[in-house]
Amino acid sequence: MSDELPGFTFLTAGKVRDLYAPEGHDDLLLLVANDRVSAFDQVLSRPIPGRAALLTRLTRWWFAQLADVPNHLADADVAVPEAVADRAMLVRRLRMHPVECVVRGYVTGSGYAEYRRTGSISGLPLPEGLQDGDRLPEPIFTPAYKAELGAHDENIPFETVVDLVGAETAEALRSTSLRIFAEASAIADAKGVILADTKFEFGDDAEGGLVLADEVLTPDSSRFWDAAAYASGRRGVGFDKQIVRDWLAAHWDGEGAAPDLPDEVVQRTADRYRELVELLTA
């Protein structure tokens, strides 16, 4: 849907979300999620029906749970086209900070790979002997610099964040990200879900206030694990792409374009997204 939204000007297309500008409202943006899913750095050919609407519903729910954190949702008299209404967010246009504010409660993924190489993540030294999926002594702020579309984000030390946005804003990014993570992981924990890690984006509004942006605390920006599975030793049992990843691992050598997902995998994945959203928002 790159250019067929009457009253809105298409700006950019991301992996799983497109950006539009409402005509006549320079202070607003429209984020429109799509049903595409990416795995192993590839956007897969078959969409997951209902995924975008579920994750939009989840982001809105988290914004409401985090009532003490200013967010970019706009309450404006702009008609969002019915065709995208359940998967779109009208937001205030911010001056975005070019920092991926990653918080990790567990060590896995690219963070674990960096830890194995250096004993640290984003310049933060970690205890020796950690295994993939281990819980960290306490959540850590491990920022990254947004690479170009398709490239991997680059973990950066806090000092680089200071160079990018200034000391006061860097500290606010860190403290706010850690505070939100603590609140969100407690909410998830109470529902049998581990929030292993997540990524926030922030911008400044016209008054210079720090505002939580983008989508938040969904499987697109976070790892959610089944707590009961983790406790029984089955680590990293995800709620979203695990089914896709497992099928691709069994049916693709990683070379060239990924094969089409079979109907059964698409349906089970859609069900799994719904299961997570309904578990968290219950």
Q: Binding to ligand Q0N by residue 58, rule CB under 6 A? A: no
Q: Binding to ligand Q0N by residue 213, rule CB under 6 A? A: yes
Nearer to ligand Q0N, 44 or 99 (CB): 99
Within 8 A by CB and 6+ apart from 51, the residues are 33, 35, 37, 269, 270, 273
Q: Binding to ligand Q0N by residue 22, rule CB under 6 A? A: no
Q: Binding to ligand Q0N by residue 165, rule CB under 6 A? A: no
Site string for ligand Q0N, 117-146 (x = CB under 6 A): -----------------------------x
Nearer to ligand Q0N, 126 or 211 (CB): 211
Q: Binding to ligand Q0N by residue 217, rule CB under 6 A? A: no
Judged by CB under 6 A, the number of residues near ligand Q0N is 15
Q: Kindly list the distances between the CA atom of residue 268 and the CA atoms of 48, 185, 216, in Å, as whole numbers in the listed order.
A: 10, 25, 23
Q: Which two tokens stand for residue 261?
A: 């997902």
For ligand Q0N, which residue of 29, 52, 80, 165 counts as binding (CB under 6 A)? 29
Q: Considering only residues 93-112, where is the footprint of ligand Q0N by CB under 6 A?
A: 93-94, 96, 98
Within 8 A by CB and 6+ apart from 146, the residues are 98, 99, 100, 153
CA distance 246 to 238: 11
Among the residue ranges 51-59, 85-93, 126-134, 232-240, the one whose residues contact ligand Q0N (CB under 6 A): 85-93
Nearer to ligand Q0N, 197 or 214 (CB): 214
> Least CB distance from residue 191 to ligand Q0N, whole Å?
26
Within 8 A by CB and 6+ apart from 80, the residues are 30, 88, 90
Q: Binding to ligand Q0N by residue 73, rule CB under 6 A? A: no
CA distance 142 to 100: 9
Nearer to ligand Q0N, 153 or 275 (CB): 153
Q: Binding to ligand Q0N by residue 220, rule CB under 6 A? A: no
Q: DSSP letters of 20-83?
A: EEETT-TTEEEEEE-S--EETTEE-SS--TTHHHHHHHHHHHHHHHTTTS-B-B---S-PPPTT
Residues in contact with ligand Q0N by the rule CB under 6 A: 19, 29, 31, 72, 91-94, 96, 98, 146, 201, 203, 213-214
